[in-house]
Structure formats: structure tokens, C-alpha cells
Structure 1
Amino acid sequence: MRAFKVLLLLVITVSLLTGCWNRIEVNDIAIVTAIGLDLVDDDMIRLSLQVAIPAKLGPAGGSTGGSKGRSTFVISEKGVTVSEAYKNLQMKLSRRIFFSQSRVLLIGEALAKKGISNIIDFYTRFHQPRMNSFIMFTKGSASEVIKNIPNLENVSSEETKELAKLSVGIKVYVRDFLNMLLTDGLEPFAPQYKLTSLEVNTENNSAQVQVINGVAVFKKDKLIGWLDDSETRGLLWLRNEIEEGVISIKIPKEKGGGNISFEIIRADTKIIPHLNNGKIKFNVNVTSEIIVIENASKLVLFNQKEIDGIQTDIEKEIKDRIQMVLDKAQKEYQSDIFGFGQAVYREYPKVWNTIYKKKWDQEYPQLEVTINPKVFVRRIGLSK
């Protein structure tokens, strides 16, 4: 009996040392770093993959700045669905397509307008693509945009990921977009991604750089419009997602002219619904703390009267930005990207389920919303 136990232990130990039977060697896979999706003329989906060239990802072979080499290449194929396009592409590659390292999903405008529920469905069913990938939309062709040569990183998708992580604009993961699609009283939105020119000290004097600027607005799973940069700031205020930023105000000529810039150090927004006689109204209370980072005016900021006036001016600026994006979302797009319906559900769940849930599309454009900003200047610096 003792000998049998020893033999059994030996067999188990040996079996544990045999390694992974289904492992895949790095030399056998094509590592995808970004995914682009477009709608093509014959009503099919074009899948474009940015694939890494492993030999050029190291310090010696990477393509940064003005380097002529490229550390990635882009391949494309069509299909009636994303999965069919993927299979058609796989048949033309000698290596197995490996999605797990991709952190960027970029979708072109034409496809987004048609609807992207099938794309999100592919992400949730297929085990490789990551739900914590950043989802973005572009007015151009996604396949062309992901061909961009990066300036600071080896791979352009790495630049895209780092831009999104800076928290200077809207940041949305695929899982967030899915949650917005499934949540009553909230419509989806995601960042707008584009390329723009930047002056640099090179022979060409300019370079194409990536910009995450603006927002794609959805109704259900279909793109219905865009917000510009200024409107996006209003969206961030309303959704309590302002993490950092600068506000500048212009000083009137009668006070000496010039400008003063402030850095946001804290911001808090609360959306509060009130139910009176069967009618829903909202208060949006915005509290912000700021510090002076530049005074290019003749105002003496040690004067409390001047500080009070500045706080009033900034409160008006914040209110105007929020009102601008609120008007556009309510009247033009009729898309509740702010989650007002969700706020009603949290505060009055029974009323939401019995009355508002079925007719929120009709109620939302008529909502009465009062914006109450409050600003505090916490530090003004030492110089006059």
C-alpha cells in the first residue's frame, strides 16, 4: 500500500511538470495592437488590424520620431460580419491572429451610423479581444487612421492608449459602452479620434499627430452626431468627470484688460431630480475649487472684491458650457448621454418603472434643468 502511494505521488508530480499542452509560441502568432472597423461600399465590414513587427519593437529597431522604419503594418479584409472578416483575414496569414494585446478599437463614421451592436456582440462572445480596450470613433476611415506613424512611441496604438489615460478628455472602454447600451435612462457616447498637423522642427516642418478631441453621440447603438471640444468640456462637467483642466477669463478693458488662467484642483457635480405633482425637474449643482496659475492682467488679486468678481465670472463660464451641451443633446440629438433617466431611476425607482421608462424619449427633450455652479478660488500665488 505504501509503495502504491509513492508511485501515485510520482505520477502526479511528473504530470505537473509536462508544461502547457495548448501553449502557443510567440513566433507562431501575429500580435494585433489596434483594430479598425469600417463600412465599405458593398455594405460589408472591413476589418483592419495593426500588427506588430517584433524584430522592430526593441530600442534598436523601433520607429520613433524621425526614424524611417516601421514597427507595425496594417492588414485588411472584408466580410458580412466582423467574425467573417476575421476568418477571411486569417486564411491569408501564416501566423495565428492574436487579439489579446490590442487596447484600441477604432470605428469609422459610416459604420457607426449604421449601428454597432454586432461589433460589441463580437467582443463579448469571442474570448480574445479585451473588454478594457479603449473604444473610439473617427469621421474618416479607421483603416487609414491606424496607419499613422507615431512620434513618441514605437507603436501608434500605444500613443493612443497613453493619450486616453491622460484624462484630459472623455475615456470610454468597450465594457463601459456595453453598460451604457444596456442601461435604461442613459445613451452611449465615446471619444472622437482624429489626426491633425503639428509644427515640428524637422525638414517637413509638420507632422501628423493623434488627437482625442470631441465626442461621438449615440442613440441606442447608432451614431447620431458629434460634440466639439468646448461642448465636450460641458459634458465632462455634467457627468462629474472633470479631473483636471484650465479655465481662462478675459478681463474687461475698463479694468485694465488681459487674461487670467486658473487650474481646476477639484470639481464635484450632483444631478438631483425632484418630483412635484407628477412632473420631474432637475437641479445640477456644480462645486469647483481652482487656483491661479497665470495672471496676465492688471488686477490685484489680493483684493477680495476682485476675487468675488472673478468667481462670479467663472461660474457664468461653467454654466454657459453646461447649458450649451445640454441644449444640443436635448433639442438636436434628443440623446440622454448625461444619465438623467438613470438619476430618476435611482431616486424614484417605482415612478421610473411605472411611468417614465416607457416614455423617456418623449420626456427627456422637455426636461427643466437648473444649473447651479459655485466656484472657490483657493490660492492666488505670492506675486501681485
Structure 2
Amino acid sequence: MRTLRAILAVLLLLLPLTGCWSDKEVQDLNYTIAMGVDYVKDEYVVYVQFLDFITVAKVEGGQSQSSKVWVGHASDPDLTMAIAKLYQSSQQRVYWDHMGALVFTGRLMEHGYKEVIDVVNRYRESRYNIWVYGTNEEMEGILSATAFFGLSSVNSILIEPTEAYKQYSSIRPIQWYEVIRDSQEASTTTIIPSLALKERTWEENKKPQKMLYMDGAHVYSNDTYRGKLTSAQLQGIQWQEKKMERFPLVIRKGGRTQGVFMLQKPVKKVIPYWEGQTIKFRMEVKLGAVIQEVGNEAVSIEELEQLASEEVRRQLRQAYVRGVGRGMDLFRLREILYRNYNGWWKEQVQQHGVQFLNEASLDSIHVTVDIIHKGRYMADES
């Protein structure tokens, strides 16, 4: 009897449990991995990338089947309705919880993306850690690109850019929460990496393969779209980016290469000050360096450090001047004043519309490069 009573007690305890009646199997949902938004002829064009997680599992399990990527698109003057039109032919429920990237075209950014912010944030399944990109290429090509070995875009910089950035810190990836935050303050500058396809670098069985890479960035400054800069035009901004891990610097003297440094983890300090009614800034940057390569000429460690410091300073100055010439505050100097001298900001900028940034505003740039590892470099340091 005691055993029977115990069994009945356990069964009674199990009755209130509801179980997982509403759960769906993997194959019963369409998983959105990335979404692209364009703006053409007064209509939003929405692109959605689906991923077959079953084939992903097979590839990761060692089987040879390549991951399949599906891309759909629909358009409407209203962004919400453009998304809704995709549901009409999606066959199954669209699941947004795995969305890892948002891609905007240059046309959309010229139009403005505040409606996209409003709509995406109203989806309860959307996350704030989505990666955000711009592109001037065809959206279908960007969203259809895969990674090596038949792996999906989950294994590409579209969804996971951080590991590549740690090794080559050119243009810092940006997340959705940063875009939202910057859009609410007129003092900030938002630098959104630009995606493109490169097809002459990698081959599979002697067949060129198109791979995603960052070819520059789209810039919002003072709540206005300022356009796109190429990677070459952005050269220099990485030296003042606090999240930079490492980036190579070629050191030249008299037209000859003296060496290649791998510069690491900059520490930046910006000091604003006034000369009469004119605001100016001083910038100080310190970087560590690892010697990767040296030329044939014997050069002392001190001279290499000096040459590196001068080259970094030159690139920083060049990037600042190029940005100011196009209305871009690439070093976010306006934000420093907004945060630290808000009274002055409200009076001069908000009330009187003072535009204080010009080429002379960044008065001085002091750069210190310290070699932290010499490798096998054996120069005469005497």
C-alpha cells in the first residue's frame, strides 16, 4: 500500500506540469539570420536571409552537404508592410530570435534609418547585439555569400566579425545598440562598416570565390548622413580606436622600407581648451609595437620608434582633415564637449548653432610608440 500511495503521489505532482506543447521542431521554423533594407523609388525593400540549420548541423558533424541559404525580398512604402508581405509566402513561421546582422544600403542611409530603428525595436524577438553594416552592392549578393568549406554566413564576418577584427583591426564592427544610442544624440558620429564582395583573393579548386570583406564605412555625423569613405580614406582612425587589437604599420625613411610594426591597443587622451572664443583640442596617443619585419639598413630601436610615431601622427592628421572636409567628426570631438562641457554646448551649439570644427581645431597630436617585443631584431642600439 505504501508503494501504491507513493506512485499515486508522484502522478498527482506531475499533473500540473504543462510540458512543452507549444515548442516547434527545428524544421518547422524559418530562421532569419540577417535582414537587409534598401530604399528605392519611395519604397522600402526588405531582404531576409533564411538558414537551414539542419544542413548546418550536418556540415559541422563532418558530412559533406553544404549549407543552403535562402534570400527573400518584398517592398512597400511602409516598412512594416514590406516585412508582412514576406510572411505571405514564407510557408512557415518566421523566427527572428537568431537574427545576427542588419545591412543597410547607401540609399537607405541617405533617406534615414530612424524608421528601421523604430520598427525593429518593436519586434520582441530582436536583439540589441545585432551587427550593423552598410553596402553599396546588390543586397542579394551580400546576403547570399557563404564562408569557407561550404559553411554558411554564420561563419562569416556578416554574423561573426570579432575574430577577424582581433587579427586585423581596420574598421571596428558596430552593434545595433550603438546605432540606436547614437541616433538619439546629435553630438555623436556613427561609423558603420561597409560590406562588399572580393573575388580575386580566394579560390576553390582554381575557381574564384566571392568572399565578404569591409571596403570602408558609411558615416553619420551631427545626425546627417555624410557619405561613404573607403578603407584607404579611413586610414589612421584605427590608431585612436580604444578597441583596436592590432594593425600593421609600414615604416619608411627616404622612400625605403625600414620595417613593419604590429601596433597594439592604443590609449588615447583628448584635451579640449580655449584660445579666446575658439575651442581647440590636443590629442595624445600611446601604442605598443611588435617588430614583424626589418629592412636591410641598421637602424636603432629609438629611431624606429620615432619613425613609427611620426607616421602614425601623419595618418591621424590626414584622417582628421579628410573627415572635417566632408563634415565628418571621425574622432568624435563634438561628443567630448557635449559630455564634459554641456553648459557651453547648450549655449553655443544648440542655441546659437556654432560650428566649431575645422582643420585647425585639432591643434596638436602627440604620438608615442613603444616597442614591447623585438623578435629577433639585433640592431646596434648604441
Short-chain TM bin = 0.7 to 0.9
Shift of 1:183: 2.5
Q: Are 2:142 and 2:212, in contact at CA under 8 Å, matched by a contact in 1?
A: no
AA partner of residue 39 (structure 1): Y
Aligned to 1:100: 97
What residue is the counterpart of 2:226 in the other structure?
A: 224
Q: Distance in 2 between matches of 1:98 and 1:60?
A: 22
TM-score, normalised with respect to structure 1: 0.85
> Distance between the aligned counterparts of 1:91 and 1:63, measured in 2?
36
User: Is this contact kept in 1: 2:203–2:209, CA < 8 A?
Assistant: no
The whole-number CA distance in structure 2 between the counterparts of 1:78 and 1:110 is 14
In the aligned structure 1, how far is the partner of 2:360 from the partner of 2:207?
50
Shift of the 324–86 alpha-carbon distance from structure 1 to 2, 3 Å rule, reads same
Corresponding residue for residue 162 of structure 1 = 160
**3-state SS of paired residue (2:126):** coil
Number of aligned residue pairs:
364
Specify the SS of the correspondent of 1:34. Answer: strand
Q: How far is the alpha carbon of 1:94 from its aligned partner?
A: 1.6
The aligned counterpart of 1:58 is: 57
* Alignment-mate amino acid for residue 175 of structure 1: Y
Q: Where does the alignment leave 5 or more consecutive residues of structure 1 unmatched?
A: 1-8, 301-305
Q: TM-score, normalised by structure 2?
A: 0.85
- What residue number does 1:5 align with? none
Q: CA deviation at 1:182?
A: 1.4
Note if 1:44 corresponds to 2:43: yes
Match for 2:333 among 317, 322, 340?
340
Equivalent residues of 2:30, 2:93 under 8 A apart = yes
Q: Does 1:353 align with 2:346?
A: yes
Q: Would the alpha carbon gap of residues 186 and 322 (structure 1) be closer, same or farther in structure 2, given more than 3 Å must change? A: same
Structure 1 range deviating more: 244-253 or 282-291: 244-253
Write the letter of the residue equivalent to 2:220. Answer: F
Deviations 1:271-325 (A, max 9, x none): 111134333110011111212121132225xxxxx22222222122111211122
- Backbone CA RMSD of aligned residues: 2.8
**Contact map agreement 2:241 2:266 (CA 8 A) in 1:** no
Match of 1:382 in 2: 376
Q: Whole-Å Cα distance in 1 between the matches of residues 91 and 286 of structure 2?
A: 57
**Structure 1 CA distance for aligned equivalents of residues 117 and 155 of structure 2:** 22
Counterpart check, 1:315 vs 2:334 = no
Aligned-pair CA distance for 1:23: 3.9
State the alpha-carbon separation in 2 of the partners of residues 239 and 15 from structure 1.
Answer: 58
Whole-angstrom CA distance in 1 between matches of 2:328 and 2:188: 8
Deviations 1:42-68 (A, max 9, x none): 32111111111233212359999xx78
Tell me the equivalent position of 2:35. 35
Instruction: State the match for 1:4 in structure 2.
Output: none
Is the 2:56–2:151 contact (alpha carbons within 8 Å) kept by the matching residues of 1?
Answer: yes
In the alignment, the residues of structure 2 paired with residue 132 and residue 244 of structure 1 have an alpha-carbon distance, to the nearest angstrom, of: 23
Determine helix, strand or coil for the equivalent of 2:148: coil
Indicate whether 1:174 and 2:172 are aligned. no
Specify the alignment match of 1:303 in structure 2: none
3-state SS in 2 of match to 1:59: helix
What letter corresponds to residue 188 of structure 1 in structure 2?
A: T
Measured after TM superposition, the shift of residue 366 of structure 1 is 6.1
- How much has 1:149 moved relative to structure 2? 3.3
Question: Which sections of structure 2, spanning at least 5 residues, go unmatched?
Answer: 1-8
Contact 1:137-1:190 at 8 Å conserved across structures: yes
Task: Please point out which of 190, 193, 204 is paired with 1:191.
Answer: 193
CA contact (8 A) 1:185 1:336 kept: no
C-alpha change, 1:314 and 1:50, in structure 2 (3 Å) is same
Q: Are residues 212 and 63 of structure 1, via their aligned partners in 2, closer, same or farther at CA, if it must alter by over 3 Å?
A: farther
Whether contact under 8 Å (1:330, 1:336) holds in the other structure is yes
| 2:113 equivalent among 107, 112, 116 | 116
Q: 1:184 touches 1:357 (CA, 8 Å); kept in 2?
A: no
SS at match of 1:230: coil
**Local SS of the residue matching 2:234:** helix
